[in-house]
């Protein structure tokens, strides 16, 4: 059987797609490599990202690199799938004819047929995990019905489509049987889950039922939307110890001027009330958010308002990016990209510097406290773990010196925090284990 190198670009939602594809090939008998350091020379598949300029450029550069290997005789075939090719299928085919075939985001099963194989529907909920074996991403829907002015995702992925609840729960049950303990729930927009299938928001019920599956240690929620937030979810989080006190909810901005221009369908006051409700209903909740600077029309006053909001909100986790015009969006069609690039970058730098100080302060406050920590890996002299407030790859980590003992990957330990940096913690095993 041939070897297949699968390279995944972009977000965890793409990663799940790659894992499903890999399971199909594994069942047939192919030898698989995910994000290999060295290309193995037979078949390469790139699962692309098409979200923002930098991500698109990274995907294109990877395609071109693989095509060069093909032209040099070091690789036999190159296939491309994912968001970038979903959006620019025809253009990419014309510009990069060295690719054997382009697929979109949803028709990757055709790759199997093109290689003379057959898609196995019995494996539709099975994957080859590329994450550490104790945690997995669970994608509960595709697409998005929101019409944010800057975002091309609805153009790429189409309308929101929820997965049936029983299918999701079956997948979680199967993954538990394979040793998975931690589940990071993802979608383009979590809070809309179920509206298309069940005519109402069903995220609270889904998470509550998932929490009752034996063996589920942690459930963590990513990519919520602030408008019409399902408040019953906070009860579920509060009443179920295995639902992490963590919510990833992109707010983007706080200025009413910006929120209106961005088509966020919310206001500054509503945003402040939501944050207060999250913290009131779930004491100790960790709030992760994403903010944007440099959106068309953002004044210095708007930005200063965002800075003050960030200073006051004291977000546990925060990422930010500068506006990048995406063709086909409302903003691209109707607004002039009028904030100079150097101003965007300066604002981004100021915002992230502010957050660095906030993160350092919040991390320092954890010194002396004990937390439940899962061990992900070992680097040098340290085991690397995370608390329930830390999502894989994007949040803080807890470093525990190897002298503490022979710790097992995927196991949970009580750890007392002894020191802190801006984004990382150091700890020792608590006396009682």
Angle, alpha carbons 52-56-60 (nearest 5°): 175
The per-residue pLDDT for 432 is 59
Tell whether the model's pLDDT for residue 180 goes beyond 80: yes
State residue 274's pLDDT score. 97
At residue 158, does pLDDT exceed 70? yes
E strands within 77-160?
A: 77-82, 101-102, 135-139, 141-142
Task: Give me the DSSP letters along 317-354.
Answer: EEEEEE----TTSHHHHHS---S-HHHHHHHHHHHHHH
pLDDT tens, 346-359? 999 999 999 999 99
Q: Is residue 327 exposed (0-12), middle (13-18) or buried (19+ Cβ within 10 Å)?
A: exposed
Q: Which fold has domain 3-123?
A: Rossmann fold (3.40.50)
Q: Helix 165-177 crosses helix 203-211 at what angle (to 10 degrees)?
A: 30
User: Which residues have C-beta within 8 Å of that of residue 20, sequence separation ≥ 6?
Assistant: 124, 126, 127
Give every CB contact of residue 228 below 8 A, 6+ residues apart in sequence: 191, 201
pTM for this entry: 0.91
Average pLDDT of the segment spanning 196-216: 97
Q: How far is CA 359 from the centre of its chain?
A: 20
For the chain, the average pLDDT equals: 94
Give pairs for 257-260: CB < 8 Å, separation 24+. 257/297, 257/299, 257/302, 258/295, 258/297, 258/298, 258/302, 258/306
CA 77 to the chain's CA centroid: 29
DSSP conformation class of 360: H
Q: What is the mean pLDDT of residues 365-383?
A: 95
Residue indicated by tokens 């300029």: 53
Domain 135-365, CATH 3.80.30.20 — does that match?
yes
Distances 310 to 37, 252, 297, 347 between C-alpha atoms, Å: 39, 11, 20, 13
Instruction: Write down the pLDDT at residue 44.
Output: 95
Reply yes or no on whether the pLDDT at 24 is more than 90. yes
pLDDT in tens, 294-315: 999 999 999 999 999 999 999 9
Domain residue extents for the chain? 3-123, 135-365, 370-429
pLDDT interval class at 430 (50, 70, 90): confident
Fill in the DSSP letter of residue 38: S
User: Is the pLDDT score of 29 beyond 90?
Assistant: yes
What pLDDT does 433 receive? 56
With 80 as the cut, is the pLDDT of residue 53 above it?
Answer: no
∠ at Cα 186 (253, 164), nearest 5°? Answer: 125
CA distances from 430 to 153, 155, 284, 414 (A): 45, 50, 21, 5
8 Å CB contact between 45 and 21: yes
User: What architecture is domain 370-429?
Assistant: Beta Barrel (2.40)
Q: What is the mean pLDDT of residues 1-29?
A: 92
Report the percentage of the chain scoring pLDDT > 70: 99
> Has residue 10 got a pLDDT over 90?
no
Mean pLDDT over 362-382 rounds to 95
């Amino acid at each position: 059987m041939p070897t297949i190198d699968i390279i995944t670009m972009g977000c965890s939602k793409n990663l799940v797609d790659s894992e499903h594809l890999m399971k199909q090939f594994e069942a047939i008998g192919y030898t698989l490599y995910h994000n290999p350091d060295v290309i193995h020379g037979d078949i390469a598949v790139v699962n692309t990202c098409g979200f923002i300029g930098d991500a698109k450029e990274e995907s294109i550069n990877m395609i071109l690199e693989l095509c060069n290997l093909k032209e040099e005789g070091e690789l036999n075939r190159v296939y491309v799938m994912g968001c970038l090719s979903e959006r620019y299928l025809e253009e990419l085919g014309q510009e990069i004819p060295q690719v054997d075939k382009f697929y979109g985001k949803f028709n990757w099963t055709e790759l199997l047929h093109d290689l003379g194989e057959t898609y196995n529907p019995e494996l539709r909920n099975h994957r080859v995990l590329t994450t550490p074996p104790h945690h997995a991403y669970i994608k509960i829907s595709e697409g998005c019905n929101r019409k944010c002015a800057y975002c091309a995702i609805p153009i790429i992925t189409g309308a929101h489509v929820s997965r049936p609840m029983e299918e999701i729960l079956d997948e979680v049950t199967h993954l538990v049987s394979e040793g998975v303990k931690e589940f990071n729930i993802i979608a383009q927009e979590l809070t809309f889950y179920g509206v298309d299938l069940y005519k109402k928001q069903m995220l609270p019920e889904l998470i509550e039922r998932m929490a009752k599956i034996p063996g589920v240690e942690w459930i963590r929620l990513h990519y919520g939307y602030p408008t019409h937030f399902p408040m019953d979810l906070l009860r579920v989080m509060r009443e179920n110890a295995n639902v992490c006190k963590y919510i990833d909810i992109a707010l983007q901005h706080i200025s009413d001027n910006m929120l209106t221009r961005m088509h966020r369908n919310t206001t500054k006051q509503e945003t402040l009330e939501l944050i207060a409700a999250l913290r009131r209903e779930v004491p100790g909740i960790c709030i992760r958010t994403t903010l944007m600077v440099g959106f068309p029309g953002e004044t210095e006053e708007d930005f200063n308002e965002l800075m003050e909001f960030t200073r006051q909100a004291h977000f546990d986790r925060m990422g930010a990016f500068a506006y990048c015009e995406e063709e086909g969006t409302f903003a691209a069609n109707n607004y002039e990209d009028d904030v100079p690039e150097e101003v965007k970058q300066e604002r981004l730098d100021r915002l992230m510097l502010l957050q660095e100080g906030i993160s350092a302060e919040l991390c320092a406050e954890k010194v002396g406290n004990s937390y439940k920590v899962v061990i992900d890996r070992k680097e040098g002299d340290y085991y690397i773990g995370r608390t329930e407030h830390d999502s894989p790859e994007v949040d803080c980590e807890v470093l525990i010196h190897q002298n503490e003992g022979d710790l097992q990957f995927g196991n949970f330990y009580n750890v007392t925090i002894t020191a802190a940096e801006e984004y990382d913690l150091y700890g020792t095993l608590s006396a009682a284990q």
